[in-house]
Each structure stands twice: as C-alpha cells, then as structure tokens.
A = this chain, B = another copy of it.
Amino acid sequence: MASRRRLSAGAEIAGIAQYDLKILNPGDIVINVEGAFIVDEDQVDGRLTPPDTRDIALPHHTGKVSHIAVDIGGTLAKVVYFTQNKHGKGGRLNFTKFESSKIDECIDFLVSLIKRNGSNGSETTDSTDNDGSTIQHHIVATGGGSYKFYDRMRGRLGSNVSVSREDEMECLISGLDFFITQIPEEVFCYSESNPMSFPSRPPNKYPCLLVNMGSGVSMLKVLGPRKFVRVGGSSLGGGTLWGLLSLLTDAGSYDEMLEMAATGDNSNVDMLVGDIYGTDYARIGLKASTIASSFGKVFKKAREEPDHSKKQSLFDGGDISRSLLYAISNNIGQIAYLQAQNHQLEHIYFGGSYIRGHPQTMHTLSYAINFWSKGEKTAYFLRHEGYLGAVGAFMQTKPTDWIDGN
C-alpha cells in the first residue's frame, strides 16, 4: 500500500501525495489507465451524443479488480465498476446510477455485481475466484450518503465485503483529473453551431474552477491533480429546479421537464428589459430581450384569477420550465464567473448531474461565462459529467486514517 499524506480535517487547501498513471486502488490493485478511451458504439448519425453512462475502455489493464465505487449524493447514487473483457486482456469501466431515495435498489445492484462475477467480469456464480479462493470485495463509497447509509450498506453486504469512505471533494478532483488528463474526447466545449467540439489542444489544465452541479452546487478552485480549496457553492441547483418544476408543471421526470423547456417561451413568464422600458436600455447595454426579472410577469397574471387552484393553468409548463432553467443556469454561470474572476482562473469545468447533456443548459452556462468574462474565460463540459466523484472514488488509494470518524 502506497503511503499517502492525509489531510487535516477542515484544512482549506488540501495537499495530496503525487499522482501517477498507475493508481493504487482500494483492492490493492493497480488500475492501468494507459490508452483509455470512450466506447462510442452507440454513436448516432455520425454525431457524438453525450450520454454520461457510456463505457470507458481500459485496453491495457490486466489485473483483477475487486472493488466498486459508489457516490451517494442528495438525489442520485452513481456507481462505477469494472468488467473484464471475456477474451484477451483489458476491460471496461461501467457507469450507472440510482435514486438516492431508493438506496436499497442501489445496494441490491452492488450485491448482484459481487455475486455475479466478483466484480471482475469473470462468470462465477458466487463470490469465489476461479481457483476457488474467496475474493475480498471492496466498496469505496463517497458523498453524503456514504455516511447516512453506511450502516445500511454494511448490514446488507456480506462479511467478505469491506466498505471504506472517501471525502467527496477529494474524489471530485481526483475524478476530474482522470477525465481531463487520461480520457480523449471527454472534455468538450459547447456552441450552438457545434454542440460538442473537442479542444484541439488540451487547455492548460490547472489551475481551474470546478463547478459541480448536483442537487446543490459546489465550486472548487483546483490547483493541481490533488490540491484544491472549496471556494463556495450555491443552494440553487438541480434539486431546486426539479422541486419547483414538480409543483409547477405536470412533468413526471427531470428529463421530461428539460424536454418541455426546449419548446417553451420564457418571455411569457419573465419580465424582460423591453417589458419595463418598451425598448432597449441602451445606455448601460441591456437589450430589450434581456431578462430583468425571472418569473417577473407571473404575479400580475396570477392575480387576475381569483381561484388559486386555477392559477397554474394560466401558464404553459414549457414556458415555466424554460424560465426556471434559464434562471438557475444563468445564476450558476454568473457565480462561477465571479469566483473564477476572484481567484484568477481561466478555465471553468462544469460537472454534476444537473446538465444531462441538455443543449439549452450548456448554452446558457457557456453564454453566461462568455458574456460576463467578455470572452476571457471558457466553459468546459464533461461527457461523464455526473461521475466525477464516483470515478474519483474508484481511482482513490485506500485511506488509512480517515475511515469511520473525523
């Protein structure tokens, strides 16, 4: 086991021991990430689409992998696990997710993975290796749920499965580093004409700002592959959008809300500069189409309907979805810009399960960064956006002095 400098609790700037291409993992097995690439077998019409669960091939990895990583956030539990190729060397990283509120489904899945193949893809039906010896399995857990559901996981997993917990922020930057340094065509920029353009030369990776958008938002100033400080965050994130839209529209899922937003017209609910001025406010450079107040037209219209239960039907669900999607994305974009400006960071990486490959969301975030920074800062996205923490946990060395406490 490699030695590792541990962090003092609450330390603002965390220094972590040097990073290597071959990473010691919790099963004491070196993951060989050389030549890793995204498997694009579900490529459609010659165009790369960004579903974040696409496999990552690890063609040169040979060792047995007996660990699985899980990142349990406020809303989603993300799982990363390895399957060995049936023929020849190499294997794949697999990505899947569950709702945190259905954590038992997630734990069932972990159990089935362990039972099925000992987590290494070989077709055994119990948790013994091909030579008959018992495999010591390992779950590396991160995110708040690794605390909240620790006892539940431990209770459901057999005695031959150990569970360790890794710090959520450390995993995020470890995962970010893996994606931006090891995986070709993982990082992309968004523009309307080219929704997924890969930077021709990789940008200077550090320092950068990582904006992780889940139920809430965390912003990390990342100085190097294992050195970071959490500079801020926002409680206005995916959980806010999802929560508000579940009351204000009849959409059944988050993706359905995003689909509705695509056809909506926010100007039916937002108060634009033109609604106040009747024209541009040219003096300070605000166009008539600029949103002055999100949802700013709603109160007046709603008041005209005395029956409260009918107020909502005055508004189109798509208009509402688009307005709130803009509001929250713009807001994250502005705060990210201000944080990047304060800390003199040029590159801003947006991760987390908020985006879901949704073009309007990426457009709004990119536009906000470009607008506020006058083109001096760039927004980058990641195809495995939701899995930074989980893949970081998968790649983490096993902590020795921070489990079960502190």
Expressed in whole angstroms, the minimum distance between the Cβ of A96 and any Cβ of chain B is 20
Tell me if B296 and A144 are in contact (CB < 8 A): no
Expressed in whole angstroms, the minimum distance between the Cβ of A303 and any Cβ of chain B is 7
Oligomer copy total = 2
CA distance A327 to B243 in the complex (A): 13
Query: Which residue of chain B has its CB nearest to the CB of A324?
Result: B244
Quick one: which of A216, A275, A339 has the most chain B CB within 10 A?
A: A216
Contacts of A271 in B (CB 8 A): 74, 215-216, 239
Tell me if B299 and A239 are in contact (CB < 8 A): yes
Contacts of A101 in B (CB 8 A): 300
Question: Interface size of A by Cβ–Cβ distance < 8 Å?
Answer: 76
Contacts of A143 in B (CB 8 A): 276
Tell me if A144 and B276 are in contact (CB < 8 A): yes
Within 8 A of B (CB), among A219-272: 230, 232, 234-240, 242-244, 246-248, 250, 269-271
Contacts of A216 in B (CB 8 A): 271, 291-294, 296
Tell me if B293 and A74 are in contact (CB < 8 A): yes
CA distance A298 to B254 in the complex (A): 13
Does A273 make an interface contact (CB < 8 A)?
yes
Does A308 make an interface contact (CB < 8 A)?
yes
Does A160 make an interface contact (CB < 8 A)?
no
Contacts of A309 in B (CB 8 A): 309
Does A10 make an interface contact (CB < 8 A)?
yes
Tell me if A334 and B234 are in contact (CB < 8 A): yes
Tell me if B296 and A75 are in contact (CB < 8 A): yes
Tell me if A284 and B247 are in contact (CB < 8 A): no
Expressed in whole angstroms, the minimum distance between the Cβ of A97 and any Cβ of chain B is 15
Query: Which residue of chain B has its CB nearest to the CB of A308?
Result: B250
Tell me if A294 and B239 are in contact (CB < 8 A): yes
Query: Which residue of chain B has its CB nearest to the CB of A306?
Result: B252
CA distance A318 to B145 in the complex (A): 29
Contacts of A331 in B (CB 8 A): 234, 236, 331
Expressed in whole angstroms, the minimum distance between the Cβ of A233 and any Cβ of chain B is 8
Contacts of A237 in B (CB 8 A): 293, 296
Does A147 make an interface contact (CB < 8 A)?
yes
Query: Which residue of chain B has its CB nearest to the CB of A300?
Result: B101
Contacts of A236 in B (CB 8 A): 236, 294, 327, 331
Known contacts A145-B276, A271-B216, A282-B9; decide if A292 and B244 are in contact (CB<8 Å). no
Known contacts A169-B283, A240-B296; 20 further A-B pairs (Cβ under 8 A):
A7-B283, A10-B285, A144-B273, A215-B271, A216-B292, A216-B293, A216-B296, A234-B331, A235-B270, A235-B327, A236-B236, A239-B271, A239-B297, A246-B299, A246-B303, A246-B311, A247-B315, A309-B309, A331-B331, A338-B338
A-B contact pairs, 19 of them (CB 8 A): A9-B283, A10-B282, A10-B283, A143-B276, A144-B281, A148-B276, A168-B281, A214-B293, A230-B284, A234-B334, A235-B270, A235-B294, A235-B296, A239-B271, A239-B292, A239-B295, A239-B297, A309-B309, A341-B342
Closest 5 CB pairs of A and B: A239-B296, A144-B276, A243-B298, A239-B293, A243-B295
